[in-house]
Amino acid sequence: MRNVFMLWPGLLILVLLMGCSTVRTTNAQPQADILSGSWRMEKWIGYDTVSVAFPQGLPVLVVDTEAQSVSGSNGCNSIMGKVRYNREAATIQIYEIVSTKMFCQTVPESEFHQALASINSYRVTQESLSLLKGTEEIMVLTRDQAP
């Protein structure tokens, strides 16, 4: 009988401790990736004014991280490709870039595609996207506002 009385306080303490530990669940929505969106070229290494290099319109990149794709314009033709990135390491690869084939006499399309293929890291804020090769800033794009 004495052993039964010694068991009750232990059980009571165990029940109280179990009641104190609650599991909290949240239904948090995943945050939108700020890399995704439409970006218009603002600066490009080697050009003082990008509008001079792209008189028909500035290049636009539309990044879709969920679909791992990139699309947009190279200043004349439409482009499409794939994107692979690592948010924690801030690495990015834009590859398998294809474009339509309209004649664009004054637009440096080939150089633009080569620049995109050379990119390996990035810095992004809500307003700007810097594409880098190592530590060298190759191009800066600003978020393109929807019309």
Domain residue spans of the chain: 37-143
Q: State residue 106's pLDDT score.
A: 76
Helix (H) or strand (E) holding 12: helix 2-20
Residue 25: predicted pLDDT:
37
Topology annotation, domain 37-143:
Lipocalin (2.40.128)
pLDDT tens-digit profile of 107-127?
A: 888 899 999 999 999 999 999
Residue 35 has pLDDT above 80, yes or no: yes
90 dihedral zone (left: phi>0; alpha: psi -120 to 50; beta) = left
Whole-angstrom Cα Rg for the chain = 27
Instruction: Give the mean pLDDT of 10-20.
Output: 52
pTM of the predicted model as reported, rounded to 2 decimal places: 0.74
Among 64, 76, 86, 68, CA closest to 113: 76
How confident is the model at residue 145, as a pLDDT? 76
Give the per-residue pLDDT at 29: 35
Give residue 26's pLDDT: 35
| pLDDT for res 28 | 34
Selected residue with higher pLDDT from 79 and 28? 79
Side-chain-side CA neighbours of 81 within 13 Å: the count stands at 23
